Chains A and B, each alone.
Chain A
């Protein structure tokens, strides 16, 4: 493997890590408010469809991403109502979203394009090179010649880190996930925080899904998400519930995804399915080595009833 191949793989790794990063940050915001949302795959697939459709009709990928994000919010409101207001089990509801949202997405796609249709294609978001910085050898092409979505997500990582660690509002937010009863007695509106958390989660997860159909491939197909929501879930645990940790985890998982794509092209001797297993197997390996017995926010996954003693 020569120099140009390595840089090619790394560039593709940054590209593959972006959707994971959006969705992992979504989960981070959700879990910091004590809501485990395993419906990320579902939110992504709905975001992917809405993003694709809007992009297909208007030709504007940015509008597509925005609408995909709003679609994610819409679907996640079902989760929010049932888990926060009704106190239903979060795991079960995440699963319900995982079954409902892809079905809805595939149904809408079939309604729009007919049951058996030719592949519809939309425009892809163009990369925007940052002048001067892009001319730095190696790093320039890697970091400063990507789509605006990539810049946006890295900005988001920094904003998230500052928000959770350096602002009062961020500490309040974290308190909701750690000890909601204490937060409530200090005058923090727990239910409101949880609803806002669900909106942010839906928004970012929908964005991550829309990235797949507006920046990565220009078509929509069922199963396009391919378990990325669950890999993002693993990235949050692996990254120990901090945005910098999540960034490293997503880059690592993105790298494995890029590597398997590159290796598939390389050889005929080894069946390509074995390479395709790499991201999934490496997620397992990474979790086995680093991810054990670290607990996240204290009240993660527990329903909160205000009147309960």
Chain B
């Protein structure tokens, strides 16, 4: 089956994606949430200065708050230890280029893990080919928030594209299949946390950066349900686009990978009503609708 503009207008996208990816009548069961998926959005007005340099002290505070609010624990250490164990080989997976994850964010996560008693030798860079996740027992996704001209959004679902060993296989119409990478045997179940660098996101023309479409959101977005996190990211990008133009400005092409990750691959929920968004800190321009 072929997806068209009319499927989106009729609201039959989920059915059409399921049928086109898996064949007619083979739609998988969607996300079976035991409750709602929690996504935290922590923002700090001074997280970057006027020249967009990262304030590392503010970033540390934001990260600590994210960990505590997301897990319900009282300290960052307890929060980490509820997500991972000291025996884990922990792979950090940042967005490597074209509006990449700020290195300060990666460093802050590393330091926080070490402070929690994790040996530095057990924390590795896991962005790259299939051998990277194979060597890890736990993954922490650290994508940069950005729109993408081929997939609509290029943040969470696209983060593991190199793990496929064949990234071009997931371009264009095949971007609906990005979720299958998360179900590869050497990836499945390893993602313990998705922490999105939303300090300085890109809302159009990604992945090639046009600074006119970047803005200081100064946020960290986190959750353990990757689809819910992506759905919140999508909301922020779409609201920013609407604000920039003063009218509806839908992402084109539409980000089919998000709904497919839910309805076809069962990775989480893309239903806004099933996502519990908790926002902390700087409220102005939160774009959460």
Q: Do A and B bind each other?
A: no
- B-binding residues in A (CB < 8 A): none
